[in-house]
Amino acid sequence: MRRKLLFTLIATVFVSMALVGGNLIAGNKPSLGLDLQGGASVTLEPKGDFDTAALDVAVEIIRARVDSIGVAEPEIIRQGSTVVINLPGVKDQERALEIVGRTGEVLLRPVLQSGMRNTDETTTTIAGQTTLPGATSSTVAGATTTVAGATTTVAGATTTVAASTTSQPASSGGLGSSRRPMSAATTTTPTTSPATSAPSTTVGSGEVGATTTTVAVAVSPSVPQQDISMTNEPSKQAILEGRDGLVYFTGPSQADGQVFANDAAAQINSGSWVVAVGLRGGATGEDKWNALAAQCFQKAATCPTGQIAIVLDGVVISAPVVQTANFSGSVQISGDFKEAEAKDLAKILEFGAVPVRFDSPTAQTVSATLGKDSLNAALISGLVGVLLVLLFLFFYYRRLAVVVLGGLAISGMLQWSAISWLSQRNGLALSLSGITGIIVSVGVTVDSYVVFFEKLKDDVLGGKTLKNSASRSFDSAWRTIVAADTVSLIGAVVLWFLTVGSVRGFAFFLGLSTLCDIIVAYFFTRPTVILMSRSKWMNGAKMFGVRARRTDGGNDLLAESSTEGVVAR
């Protein structure tokens, strides 16, 4: 019995410390919520009908977008059908919210590449160029056009070159998204004929513009970035940045992602990654796509480059060259894809097929200083509060309060480990309501001890020895503790499943601290008190604040009956 208790106690302490140690070594630490760290938060709610699978894809795409703007610890949580995006520590909140809050719509636009009026310049740029083998850097394709309103003409066509991306002129450097230069040359072919075209042969934007055109270089910087990235109005022409770092001048959107069936997949074809996607039948699918493809294949005025830009949220994801006029049933996009790129494109096409449009019913930004102030205030006042509770318990229960101190420490370690681990694994963040919940839960935890100790006191007052009553009082107190904690757990579970937002976060911490309470009561408090009750340190003295009821002779009932207790057993 004694050995078993000792083992339980040591094991509990050891496990708690090991958990903390493990988390420390793994570098896990609780991540702070938005209200403590400052940052931006948006809640997105799907509008109208949506598909659960599509929502999953949408969440992944949002995640990718958030990652691309370099937020340290984004928290993207699906709560039922709503998606909560927390971007702690974001500096440019407005931009972050704007990027996240976009609709996630896939548009198909013919690539005009260069404006009609400046054909001369552009052709000269392209004319007579040789592809530099090995030189993979990007070229900013000529973009000239009338921007919204058709009055001002902006000449685009820039250039550049070679080898190092740093040597790009301001025009392309300023475009913002040329993080990952890659060949823009992708092609679309019907799946029936395997991809034959080598990338970067026929495509203007894919060639390395080796030179010149001073005209364009001079003009481009004057194009405000805003105008380029923001005008994704489907019915108008637009200058859009590409994911590959190029700028596309595109015509009005002639189809959207819904022409594709929901089956896009990345696959290996002739040793290179391609993306295959089916077309929906009928007027809204195949016909629409073929109408666009035909224009591009013929390099008609509306699609002089022969390229179709696949645009997601105003960013050209890929601009494949159309290889045939008539697609039946499916489309295969091939190019110089890496595996990840192909998969990414497949995901986007799939997403475009079943778009989810979001509403953002709440948006919030919290200033960093406000968050830090709250955190400090909560921590300091929380610690003071816990200290006061401990003082009170020491005054009231004397040496028994040591058990409370130990129990709180164990409970603290367990909670810290769980929160750290979940922060790392599941993107849990400790919010102000969470911290408050934990501080208040100290009260609940202490309650368990009080129930136990009062029971113990009762028994000792009633004339039992501490040694005998410890284990029995625990059994009785344990029932009470479990009954009361079950109610708390019911509350936590109900709140978790039926609410959203901060109430839900709170429910988690309520449940966590209740579980810790039960664990600590059984695996720490029980063995500790029972072991202590057998030690000399506790016995015979009024070490836990009990004065035994006095008999007439003034004998201490506690001392008197202690011998009897032994006999009785």
Partner 1 sequence: MSSRWGRLYNGETTIDFVGRRWWGFIASGTLVLVTLFSLLFQGLNLGIDFEGGVAWEAPVKNGLTIESATAILEDNNIESRNAKVQTLGSGAGERIRLQVDDQTAEVRSAVQKSLADAAKVEVGEVSVSSVSSSWGRSITIKAIRALLVFFLLVSLYIAWRFEWKMAIAAIMAMVHDVVISVGVYSLLGFEVTPSTVIAFLTILGFSLYDTIVVFDKVHDNTSRFSASRVSYEDIVNVSMNQVLMRSLNTSLAAVLPVLSLLILGSGVFGAVALQEFALALFVGLLTGAYSSIFIATPLLSILKSREPKFRSLIGQRSLKADMTTLMQTGSSVSRKQSARSGADATGAKANPVDAVTAVLSHPPRPRKKTRR
> CA–CA separation, 420 vs 416, rounded Å?
6
Of residues 38-57, those binding partner 1 (CB under 8 A) = 38, 43, 45
What b/e readout covers 53-81, taking b as 16+ CB neighbours within 10 angstroms?
ebbebbbebbbebbeeeebebbbbbeeee
Smaller CB separation from partner 1, 257 or 371: 371
What region does 29 belong to: left with phi over 0, alpha with psi -120 to 50, or beta? beta
Of residues 79-138, those binding partner 1 (CB under 8 A) = 91, 93-94, 97, 101
Q: Is 162 in the site for partner 1 (CB under 8 A)?
A: no
Smaller CB separation from partner 1, 51 or 560: 560
> CA–CA separation, 100 vs 96, rounded Å?
6
| CB of residue 109 to partner 1, shortest distance in Å | 25
Binds partner 1 by CB under 8 A, chosen from 462, 475, 540, 559? 462
Q: Cα torsion at 519, 521, 527, 532 (round to 10°)?
A: 150
Smaller CB separation from partner 1, 155 or 429: 429
Q: Where are the alpha helices (DSSP H) in 193-313?
A: 214-219, 225-230, 286-297
State the number of binding residues for partner 1 (CB under 8 A). Answer: 89
Q: Is 73 in the site for partner 1 (CB under 8 A)?
A: no
| Token pair 């009170």 in the structure block, residue | 392
What's phi and psi for 263, nearest 5 deg? -140, 25
Binds partner 1 by CB under 8 A, chosen from 301, 494, 559, 566? 494
Smaller CB separation from partner 1, 396 or 537: 396
Q: Is 229 in the site for partner 1 (CB under 8 A)?
A: no
Q: Which stretch binds partner 1 (CB under 8 A): 114-122, 178-186, 382-390, 528-536?
A: 382-390
Q: Are 284 and 322 in contact (CB under 8 A)?
A: no
Write the binding mask 304 to 343 for partner 1: x where contact by CB under 8 A, - elsewhere: ----------------------------------------
Q: Is 488 in the site for partner 1 (CB under 8 A)?
A: yes
Q: Is 396 in the site for partner 1 (CB under 8 A)?
A: yes
> DSSP 3-state assignment of 101?
helix
Q: Are 400 and 533 in contact (CB under 8 A)?
A: no
Q: Which stretch binds partner 1 (CB under 8 A): 21-29, 176-184, 523-531, 559-567?
A: 559-567
Smaller CB separation from partner 1, 251 or 437: 437
Q: Is 406 in the site for partner 1 (CB under 8 A)?
A: no
| CB of residue 176 to partner 1, shortest distance in Å | 20
| CB of residue 252 to partner 1, shortest distance in Å | 25
- Provide the residue type at 300 as one letter: A
Q: Is 552 in the site for partner 1 (CB under 8 A)?
A: yes
CB atoms within 10 A of CB 8: 18
| CB of residue 236 to partner 1, shortest distance in Å | 20
Q: Is 456 in the site for partner 1 (CB under 8 A)?
A: no
Q: Is 368 in the site for partner 1 (CB under 8 A)?
A: yes
Task: For residue 256, give the H/E element and its range.
Answer: strand 255-256
CB atoms within 10 A of CB 283: 9
| CB of residue 355 to partner 1, shortest distance in Å | 21
Residue 49: Cβ-neighbour burial (10 angstroms; 0-12, 13-18, 19+): exposed
Smaller CB separation from partner 1, 180 or 542: 542
Closest CA to 17 of 308, 357, 410: 410
Binds partner 1 by CB under 8 A, chosen from 500, 518, 519, 531? 500
| CB of residue 262 to partner 1, shortest distance in Å | 29
Instruction: Note the residue count of the chain.
Output: 569
Q: Which stretch binds partner 1 (CB under 8 A): 245-253, 299-307, 313-321, 360-368?
A: 360-368
Binds partner 1 by CB under 8 A, chosen from 476, 531, 534, 543? 476
| CB of residue 292 to partner 1, shortest distance in Å | 32
> CA–CA separation, 266 vs 284, rounded Å?
24
Q: Is 547 in the site for partner 1 (CB under 8 A)?
A: yes
Task: For residue 516, give the H/E element and its range.
Answer: helix 501-520
Q: Is 408 in the site for partner 1 (CB under 8 A)?
A: no
Angle at the Cα of 425 (from 179 to 266), degrees rounded to 5? Answer: 50
- Provide the residue type at 255 as one letter: A
Q: Are 290 and 326 in contact (CB under 8 A)?
A: yes
What's phi and psi for 332, nearest 5 deg? -120, 130
Smaller CB separation from partner 1, 440 or 531: 440
